[in-house]
Amino acid sequence: MRRINVVHLGEGTWGWEKWSKPVLCPLASWGTINLTLVDDHEETPPEIAALAQEGIVTYLPWNRCLQSQECQRWEVAFVITPADSQAMICRALLEAALRLRKIVLEKPGGSTPEEIAEVDEAAEARGVEMIWCDHYLLRPPIQFLISEGKDLLHSLGPIQRISGAILERKADGPRIASVVPDVVIHLLNLCRVIFPDSHFVPKSAELRRAKNAENYRRDTYAFVVGEYVTPFGVVIP
């Protein structure tokens, strides 16, 4: 069986604990894939070092990976990085990784809708399939709502109001990316799954930054209000 050449970019807490460690590294150890792990550390991170020494994975720093021989072998890329770097990474992969056929991208895919659309168009032009992932949709309560709750929701008749909240568990909040595309998008994705072919029209938003704002590059708290328009003509404020 031919091994698939895979690269995983972004070995932070989420990328390592939820993607590389439980999924991609076992596939590499079983001989299903050839796996390259990429991050911005110049030296191999400690959690990866043993796997690299055993030859199970290859580690490359970002500043050298696109010029490597491995880059010319990659067929599938997993981009699990902060929102404000995703579009840049995808554009670089589309230009440098000539055998690339699929990009698995954790939401949202960029910092702005324009950035996301630009990457999607560039991928389509090159014949690379974009697979957009939202891990919140895989959580058991959400899966139950998707599988069992849709009929119940529709049976209620016209819905007058939908509200939702996501609280960051870290004491200092999301430090890297803007909270609107990086966090609020989970709620909009869920509504889109429950009400297919619908869209959200924002009316107003309040954005705030943490008190020690010098340590933050973007807004860390947000309150967004708008209308959710469904194919049934129902407007949900």
pLDDT (0 to 100) of residue 204: 82
Q: CA 11, CA 80: separation in Å to the nearest integer?
A: 8
Q: Whose structure tokens read 């891990």?
A: 135
pLDDT of residue 51: 95
> What's the DSSP call for residue 115?
H
Give the pLDDT confidence score for residue 213 in this predicted structure: 55
Contact 56, 32 (CB under 8 A): no
pLDDT in tens, 81-112: 887 789 999 999 999 999 999 999 987 777 77
Q: Tally the C-alpha atoms within 13 A of residue 126's C-alpha that lie toward its C-beta.
A: 22
d(CA 99, CA 217): 35
**CA-only gyration radius of the chain, Å:** 20
Residue among 169, 19, 49 at smallest CA distance from 10? 19
pLDDT in tens, 164-194: 777 665 554 444 456 666 677 777 777 777 7
